[in-house]
Amino acid sequence: MGYKLKVIKGFAKDKIVSVETNELTIGRTEENLLVVFDPSVSRKHSVIKKEGTVFKIIDRGSRNGTLLNGSAVVEEILKDGDTFTIGNTTFRFGFTESLSDQINQEHTQILSPPPKKSKGKSGNPQARSEMTEEQPASNPAPVLSEKPKAAAVVAGKEKKRLLPKILIASGAFFLLLLLVFVAKPVITNKGPGLKDQSSMVFDLSPTYFDKKFGYKEADYQCLKGCQFAFEPSDNKLFLSFSAYGIYNHNDVMIEINGSEIGAVPVTGKNLLRGISVMIPKELLSKDDNIIVFRYKGNTEKMNPWYITFVKINQEVIPEPDMDKAKELAELGYNKYREKNIEPKNLYLALGFFMQARDYMEKLPVKPQLYSEIQEQIKGINKELQAIYDKLMFSVSKAINDQDYKKAYDLLNDVLKYFPDADDIRNKEAKQMIQNISEG
The β-bridge partners of 290 are 229
Average pLDDT estimate for 267-286: 84
Closest CA relative to residue 285, chosen from 248, 313, 257, 316? 257
Q: Pick the range with the lowest mean pLDDT from 103-117, 151-165, 203-217.
A: 103-117
Mean pLDDT, the chain, as a whole number?
A: 78
| Residue 310 neighbours by CB under 8 Å, 6+ apart | 204, 208, 209, 213, 228, 239, 240, 241, 291
Q: Comparing 88 with 174, which gets the higher pLDDT?
A: 88
| Structure-model confidence comparison of residues 115 and 16, the more confident one | 16
Q: According to the model, what pLDDT value does residue 332 have?
A: 96
Relative to beta strand 46-51, strand 54-59 is antiparallel
For residues 136-153, average pLDDT: 37
Neighbours of 242 (CB within 10 A): 18
| pLDDT at 329 (0 to 100) | 95
pLDDT of residue 169: 56
d(CA 241, CA 312) in angstroms, rounded, equals 9
Considering only CA atoms, which of 291, 177, 186, 171 is closest in space to residue 231? Answer: 291
As a whole-number percent, the residues of the chain with pLDDT over 90 amount to 34
For residues 10 and 198, what is the distance between their CA atoms, to the nearest angstrom? Answer: 16
Distance of CA 173 to the CA centre of its chain: 40
Which residue, 223, 231, 215, 305, is CA-closest to 269?
305
Residue 323 has pLDDT above 90, yes or no: yes
- Name the pLDDT band for 185 (thresholds 50, 70, 90): very low
> What is the b/e burial string over 17-46, where b = at least 16 CB atoms within 10 angstroms of the residue's CB?
bbbebeebbbbbbeebbbbbbbbbbbbbbb
In this prediction, residue 145 carries a pLDDT of 33
pLDDT band (50, 70, 90) for residue 319: very high
Per-residue confidence (pLDDT) for residue 344, from 0 to 100 = 95
Q: How many CA atoms lie within 13 A of 97 on its CB side?
A: 0
Beta strand residue intervals within 164-288, DSSP E? 201-203, 212-215, 220-221, 225-230, 236-244, 252-256, 259-263, 272-278
SS3 162: helix
Residues 6+ apart with CB under 8 A from 235: 314, 315, 316, 317
pLDDT at 40 (0 to 100): 77
Burial group, residue 260, by CB count within 10 angstroms (0-12, 13-18, 19+):
middle
pLDDT for 406 equals 93
In sequence order, which residues have a C-beta less than 8 Å from that of residue 199 and are 6 or more positions away?
A: 37, 38, 39, 111, 227
Region 277-282: mean pLDDT is 86
Helix, coil or strand: residue 426: helix
Enter the DSSP assignment of 189: S
More confident residue, 26 or 139: 26
Q: Reply yes or no on whether the pLDDT at 252 is more than 80.
A: yes
The mean pLDDT of 241-252, rounded to a whole number, is 89
Whole-angstrom distance, CA of residue 261 vs CA of residue 425: 12
Per-range mean pLDDT, top range of 82-91, 157-166, 275-284, 421-430:
82-91
Strand 212-215 to 220-221 pairing: parallel
Q: How confident is the model at residue 351 (pLDDT cuts 50, 70, 90)?
A: very high
Sign of CA dihedral 171, 172, 174, 179: positive
Distance CA 367, CA 360 (A): 8
Residue at 148: amino acid letter: P
Phi, psi of 331, rounded to the nearest 5 degrees: -60, -40
User: Per-residue pLDDT for 335 more than 80?
Assistant: yes
Average pLDDT for residues 137-152, to the nearest whole number?
A: 37
Q: What percent of the chain has pLDDT over 70?
A: 76
pLDDT of residue 180: 44
Per-residue confidence at 171, pLDDT binned at 50, 70, 90? low
Query: Does 120 have pLDDT greater than 60?
Result: no
Contact 328, 353 (CB under 8 A): yes
